[in-house]
Every structure is written in C-alpha cells, then in structure tokens.
Amino acid sequence: MKIALVQINPVIGDFGYNSAQIISWSEKAREKGCDLVVFPELALCGYPPQDLLERPAFLMEHDKALQNIISRISGIGIICGHLEKHAGAVGKPLHNSASLIENGRILFTAQKRLLPSYDVFDEARYFEPGRRSQPCRYNGLRLGLTVCEDIWNDKGSFPQQLYATDPVNDLLSGLDAQGRKIDLLVNISASPFQIDKETVKHDIFTRVCRNNTLPLIYVNQVGGQDSLLFDGWSMAMDSGGNIVARAARFKEDMVIVDTDIWQERPYGQQITEVHTRESGPADNTAILQETRTVFDALVMGVKDYGAKCGFSKGLVGLSGGIDSAVTFAIGCEAFGPENILGVAMPSPYSSAASVEDAKQLAENLDCRFEVVVISSVFSAIKESLSHVLTVDEQQAVPKVDITEQNIQARIRGNLLMAYSNKEGSLLLSTGNKSEMAVGYCTLYGDMSGGLAVISDVPKLLVYKLADYINRVREIIPARIITKPPSAELSPEQLDQDDLPPYEVLDSILQAYLEQNLSVAEIAAMGFERHTVEDIVKRIRFNEYKRKQAPLGLKVTSKAFGYGRRYPIAQNFREEDAS
C-alpha cells in the first residue's frame, strides 16, 4: 500500500487547530491515493503538554477533539498519537498512546511502554507505561506500532540499556491474531533536535532494520516548542536500512512511500532539507552542514516561539559584537526584516566603531536601527550613588569596577524592555553558552529578554554561525567577526582579560557539562588544572543567575534549562575532589 508520512507542527492545547491539521493532511493523502497516513506522537495535543495533563478541562477538550477526528476520517486509515485514560485502578491516570483509526472506528491502540525521565523528559510524572506490545494488521500488512522511546532501547546501540523491557524485540518475537510476525515497524515520535543526535538515531534505526530484515517508518514532530526544537526529518527505511523517503527538516511536510516496491512516490516538490537562504559554493563541507542545521533550528525556534506566544515583532540590543549580530540576523530571518529593530546603546566606554558596525549590520539586513546614548543616565546614577561607587577618575585609565559595569548593562536592559513594552516586540537576549556557563553576564541587564536565542550555542559555534550568515555576501561586518570580544563596559576591556581563550573554555565546558567529566579527567586531557578548577567553580557559583535567565533554545545534549537540574544552594566542590 501507499503510506503517507506527515510531520506537523502542533500548538499545545490548540485542539481545533491540531485537529484541522490532522484532517486536512489526511484528505491530501487520500487524494494522492494513500491507504494510510502516519502522524507524530501526541499530535492531537502537542508535545510536551506537561502539567496541562493534570487539568480536567484539558483532557475533556482532548477527548472531544479525538472523537471529532474519528468521526471525520473516512476512506483512509490514520495512525495518530493521542492521550488515553488508564483503565486500571492503580497507576498514573493516562497513557501516551497511538491508535490506528479508520471510518469512524479505532481499530487498534498501542500504548507507549518506555517513559523517559532524563534530560528534558519527565513522562513518568504523568503516564502509565503500556504493558504489552502486539502487532496489528492493516490492508494486508502486519504492523508493529511503537511510540518514540520504545525504539530507543536497542542493546547493540548503547553500552547500558535504560530499560529492562524492549518493545521492538517483543514485537519481533510476537505474533498477530493470525499467528504471523510483523512486516513493518512504525515509530511515531516527538524527538527534539540536538547537534549530532541524528547520527545516533540513524545508527539505531539502521541496526533495527538490518538485524531483523524489517522496514521502518518513522514520523517525527516538527516545530519549536518553548526551548525544544523538533526537526521533523521523518523517514522510511527499507529492510536493508537504506533511507528510501525523507521529509523536510524544520518545516511541515508529507512524503509518500509505496510498500510494494518500497520506494518513495512523488508528492509535490520533495525536499530533503530546508535552507532559509540560498546555498553558497562551500556548502558541501561537513562543518558548514552542521552550522546550517543549527542556524535553521534557531530560526525555527524564534519564529515558532514568537508566533505561538503572540509576537510578530522582535527586538535586539546591538552592541557591535558578534553575539548580538548573530542573534539579530537570526531574528531578522525569523520575523522578517520589516519586523525587527536593532538598538545601539553606547556608553562612555563604547567605541565609535562598535556603533558603526551595528548600524552597518542593520543596513545590510534592511532592518530598522536606532541609537540611544546612555552616558547621561549612567552619569546620573553614578551621581546618586557617589557615596558607594569606586570610580577613580584621577587614574590615567579610570578603574571601573563590576558595580559600574553592571549599572551600564542594567540601563540597557531597562531601555530595551521599554521598547518591548511600547512596541509589543519580543526582546531577544544575546548571551552565548560560554558566557552563561561562567556567569559572564548581568542579571536584569544583558540577561533581560523574553527568549535567549543563543544561550545553548558555545562561543566558537557563534563564530561559525557568523561565517555561515556571511557565506554569500557580507551581512555581518567583517570587523565584528575579527575584533577581540569585549563587553566594552570599562576602558580597554577584553573578554580574555577575565576568561581563558574560547578554544580552551569551550572545550572544558563541553567536557564538564555534556560529558560529565571530573576536574581530574579534564585536566588529564591537557588543560591546566587551575584553569579547569576556576571554570568549574564559576559554573557552580553562577547557577543562581541561570535560574533567572530567559528561556533558551536547546541545540546541544545538555542545555541550561529544565533539562539540567542542579541545586543553587549546595557545597559539593568538584575542584577539590581527587
């Protein structure tokens, strides 16, 4: 039969919109002669619904929407992720389920058995695991229906399995009502994007297909949902583990596969990847490919967060530095150049070149730009606090301590929030992951905003993003990329007066934050131990700042957000451990 893989971008709790999407795409698939259409995990309510699952009214509206879909779908079968009440007297009240629906009836339901409770996932908080995996039959094919994590427990892919249960293995060893094994494995997912995850996913799926001589259909949610970015990239694999059909990345899409010949059937313009700008001549390199993927993910995240939260305009404070430049370019791509404003706010320590570069950036992107000088406000605050401030104007190079530096940052934060209030714009904060990790940022200053676009992007990757943005023509002025990074909050200030080189800092941060290596293990990699100890100390000390930071978009395996849960008040000193 012909099966349509449809990845949609649901809005959590918007049951009318999500239902309409499911029905509309089903009708398109039927018009193309498809027998079955497959949608993502929890497509009806959106993923992850979190504590909305505890609200009776939410569950009531969900059930109404499900009944509407059941009654409206005809002439085609659909597999759709939805909530299901747990019938048992003991356990959590809900199942995360997937049902096969046709002509007003639910023909079969599979309940998710493996409920992840690591990183950003907390499904055991809400759901009761399914108890068994059974195949079902549809149009002559025996299907093994699984939900997301159910396929992520292959013993050949991980050094240690997280679960004693293996739903895929159970399906492969089980029989349907006619005593036959499955012909096709179907997995519906809401699997968030992160750098390098696709390699792991591909290896797991390939192993499952080849080891069992079994084709696979995988349909993933797409779109930004708070900090999570879902890339879609749904696929069909043949029994040899070869990808025979693949949907677009970072946009809604449908692809059709014919199970008779196990090849893709044309549907409109098939896209294997989505590029928000024209490709340049060097786009064939692996580094540029990864950078482009991160760029597209961040653009989608900003666009969807804005749209789903009611923002059609964006706002960025432009310092003349690379972080704000990259954030501004991403925001311009997400909102459109006519819907984003860049504001430069020079202080007495800002260079004229920084303002010039910020203005040139805005002109290159054809975006609005304004300058608000903060020197007079800064002087007024210093005058009010003259009895406590320590600025020594008699020095050849005046000393400006952290208090005066933070005052400047907080003035800018106040001004930007005023613009945000007046214009109804989403303020995009510009701090990168390297700065956030060690606290090189100011609470209520440069941390002000509604969305932290690059807070999970290490500094070195920020430079790669700038090069990618400039791959066809110079958008970010070259001087922004080549000059030494500086907050320009005191005379002759440079980031590396206080921090190690970013090549060193980013490597240590990745080892500590993403690989969970100890101080001793990181030092053994060739880094000076006192440098590693200092960085780890800063990470621990600045937890309180990160807990008050705006929501950030997740692109690495461990972001600063609800997937990283460390206490603020704690006294475990990793640097003292041997």
Tell me the two tokens of residue 413.
Answer: 């934060």
Query: Which backbone phi and psi does 33 adopt, to 5 degrees?
Result: 85, 20
252 is catalytic: no
Contacts (Cβ under 8 Å, ≥6 apart) of 132: 170
Q: 155 catalytic, yes or no?
A: no
Picking from 20, 17, 21, the residue whose alpha carbon sits closest to that of residue 8 is 21
DSSP characters for 537-570?
HHHHHTHHHHTTSPPB---SSS-SSTT----SS-
Catalytic-labelled residue, pool 112, 251, 433, 464: 112
Cα gap 234→253, rounded to integer Å: 9
Q: Which two tokens stand for residue 416?
A: 């930007």
Pairing of strands 36-38, 77-85: parallel
Q: What does the block give as tokens for 373?
A: 């000088």
Catalytic residue among 45, 148, 209, 441: 148
Q: Label residues 312-350 b or e (16+ Cβ within 10 Å = b).
A: ebbbbbbbbbbbbbbbbbbbbbbbeeebbbbbbbbbbbb
The two tokens of residue 109 are 């339901």
For residue 168, give the amino acid letter: V
Pick the catalytic residue from 41, 102, 123, 488. 41
Question: Strand (E) positions, 260-404?
Answer: 263-265, 314-317, 340-344, 368-371
148 is known as an active-site residue:
yes
Whole-angstrom distance, CA of residue 334 vs CA of residue 303: 5
Catalytic residues: 41, 112, 148
